Amino acid sequence: MINLIGKRALVTGGARGIGAAIVKALAEGGADVAFTYRASGDKARALATSMQGTGRRAIALHADSAEPAAIPRSVSEAIEFLGGLDILVNSAAIAHSGTIEDLDMDEYQRLMDTNVRGPVLFSKAVIPHLAEGGRIITIGSGLSERVPFPGVTAYAMTKAALVAFTRGLSRELGPKGITVNLVNPGSTDTDANPADGPAGDFQRSMTSLGRFARPEEIAYAVAFLASPAAGVITGATLTADAGALA
């Protein structure tokens, strides 16, 4: 088992999908977890309650990652509840489909604010609180490396920005003994992209394994990077896409 006993984590966008699986995986490893949510209040509160039933401390914090003022506030609330912070997982993101020609500028701005500015500002807010051995892990997308179909250009662009962010921040925080890494999932079976959805067969056809990832499989990759076992890994991208980029 991955040993995270005594660690304190903040997961953004942790109420559902991959984010919720990350909350569970970190708690299974022994960490106490705070996580943010934007709209899924009932799911967030239910998840926090279920984590407390395992003996781990957990709290759901309402915060929209697209709102700059909500970020330092939620970080402060997490630290107050947890008594400190060792791990940040930037999981909150929104999807977008459509061509650049038809791109609505308000929609574009919210996409950038959530998917790019959000991870930057959350990282900025937690850095002063991380000691040696701290972890910053961000959830990207395999689309940052390959865009095999039209209609996801703007979304892929936001995820590609996280590659450079991860590499650069690893250089800044390396002297402090803090690692910074990126996990790039491929097609993952969530409410937002169900394996039995209309595009499921097409997405499976692009993978080596012929299947979608399960959210917990992405979460265990995150838990590994958060653990002492990954102490020498930083500035790296861990691709978890069932072989879509093979």
Q: Which are the catalytic amino acids?
A: 155
Single out the residue of 244, 246, 232, 223 nearest to residue 89, CA to CA: 223
Q: Phi first, then psi: what are they for 11, rounded to 5°?
A: -115, 125
CA–CA–CA angle 20, 62, 221 (5° rounding): 25
> What is the arrangement of strands in the sheet containing 135-139, beginning at the earlier edge strand?
58-62, 32-37, 8-11, 87-90, 135-139, 179-185, 237-240
- Are 123 and 223 within 8 A, CB to CB? no
Tokens 């990077």 correspond to what residue?
225
User: What Å distances lie between residue 140 and 79, 135, 149, 163, 237, CA to CA?
Assistant: 25, 16, 18, 8, 9
What count of other Cβ atoms lies within 10 Å of the Cβ of residue 106?
8
d(CA 55, CA 32): 9
β-sheet bridge partners, residue 59: 34
CB 50 within 8 A of CB 244: no
- Distance (Å, whole) CA 38 – CA 199: 27
